[in-house]
Structure 1
């Protein structure tokens, strides 16, 4: 007996959606999921009963409506999304869509701040305590945060960056208090659960988007004040997969510094794009040698691959510091 849409759980609807989209598109979606999520959805797909074309269409429409609602929320908030949806599908349907979405979507604090010019935000925040500034920047886009951080006084720049990196979880009461200073009417959007913000990944995103001079100053200050944190940030500033963003001259330059035996391990777990970037800048004979080494090496531990790739990244970072190569980042203006 065919399944009905109202009988399906959220996980089952996701399975129906993946079936409807087909194997290629589903494979792309799986790339963004955890191993546990992939296993659960694969099991759901395998156990899925007969799904009628009508159910597939209903699930697809529901997914589309939720995506549109999420886009409206990011553009102008929950109120704006509800108004637009009411005009499009009617009041009851709009409320139903919003309710489904907010069950899984947490509206981020400081929603209003992401729509304000960074220079205006800077005027409000530059006199605030570094911890307050760090909290707000953790919720903004990396480009906004980069603009604000680059214009803070030098003594605050590294301190704010350090506090973002050290930040883990902030209580809703603190978020509400800070948020109300900037815009009281948005304080009711804050979730009652503890909200994750900041962390090393957040400060890396900001530093990747900031101008190189400010980035260098902040990293030098952090190296003096917190060497361990500075090293952890450095490890994430340029990852092995970013090799594909380097220009040909830079790739050829750092290749000369890498031992062939290291390449045979580092490239084991590399993407096809990275392999193409590396092999495309080597001699045919060298490529054949490395490929033979990779083949005869057999299985290699993931830990060994990661260590080899980090050694390559360390060489790239060293050459960049010496001015031998340039790794493109946000805020850089490239002149050919």
Structure 2
């Protein structure tokens, strides 16, 4: 066990009243580290507890096994700290793993991070990409809108070492807006979370894993399928919604995405375009030649993410599930 895990087990063994006295004497970062360890500790067998707490063998032996969970952690913190502070700590430890903000960002899916950063100032995005690992930054940069991405690149090339005040400002913004939203999303139903994950898998992996899941839990597989929103589901958009989507998607990505789409969906897109635009798109698709399935999946996932963002803004309406019928 790590140091924080050992401390967390000891806190649980001492009980809420004694542990709260110890927590009240710790610094915020110590409270956060122990809280994170406690929340993910799970079951600690009595024999392990005895090894950690030889001075309290008798009491701990009677207590038996301990269970660390989100609920016990939050309840213990509430005995010592204000509710607002407890909420902040719990949201932080529920978020992506990592000690610093930049470590945490390195564990955020590139599609999720790109969708957030594309609405920020180019200078802010330049700072963020300069602080995370190059391979992760490259994947995020590739998902940003073309003109915006070039502006970010130029800012990064001209950027000197960011001042401490500027870095602190960016960290505060990310912590208050982005990470807290990610932490709150962690409280969703597990099937919703898995549906989002499956939406970002390539087709081969999605088919393989869902097939295996059906063999183990047909009910879970069915729920995930119902919650997933794929590129093919865009055919459920009404004409107005499709035209809104067409105005904002990158035309090059759309060409690649439709190259691997069904004929039905492709025709649906074309029907919502002008005759000239539709003809040009058909020609572009025909001239594209063979395209890697991975590139098609990436383009389709980006367009689906754009559609979801428009739906959150109230610009379009998406059907929530494979079997849902829309009435207008």
Please give the range of the TM-score, normalised by the shorter of the 2 chains: 0.3 to 0.5
TM-score, normalized by length of structure 1? 0.35
